[in-house]
Amino acid sequence: MSIDPVPAAGYTTNASLTTAGVRSSPVPTSEPQVPSTQPNSGPEPTQEIRQRPQTSESSEIPKDEVQVQRDSESNGQIVIRYLDHSGQVILQVPSSQVLGLARAIERALEEQAKHRAGGANSRP
């Protein structure tokens, strides 16, 4: 009765196990073996190449505009206006109503100051 050597589990560096009479067995791997060729899944899809239409500068979308100005009628307050491509006001900060109120208050304060100055000079 003969006994063949048992392959060792794991890695070994023992030179006596690597003799000429020892049969080697394939080491099982945990990865499944994939066939070298893949099955035919039909014809290759055709790629569609789309070209962008040529745009000229005249066909570009008109851009909106932002204007920053100082209001000359109310203490030089900064006014920001957002205009569309046709020049129409989209948004104004502060609004025209707020600017009108500020102007009215300034006029009222100026009239009061004139009235007080005129009344103080006429007293004996």
Give pLDDT tens digits for 78-103: 999 999 988 899 999 999 999 999 99
Contact 99, 106 (CB under 8 A): no
Give the tens place of pLDDT for each residue, 23-33.
555 555 555 56
pTM over cut 0.85: no
DSSP structure string for 3-42: -PPPPPSS----GGGS-TTPPP-PPP-SSPPPPSSPPP-S
Q: Report pLDDT for 79.
A: 92
Instruction: Give me the phi and psi of 64, to 5 degrees please.
Output: -75, 165
Q: What is the pLDDT of residue 3?
A: 76
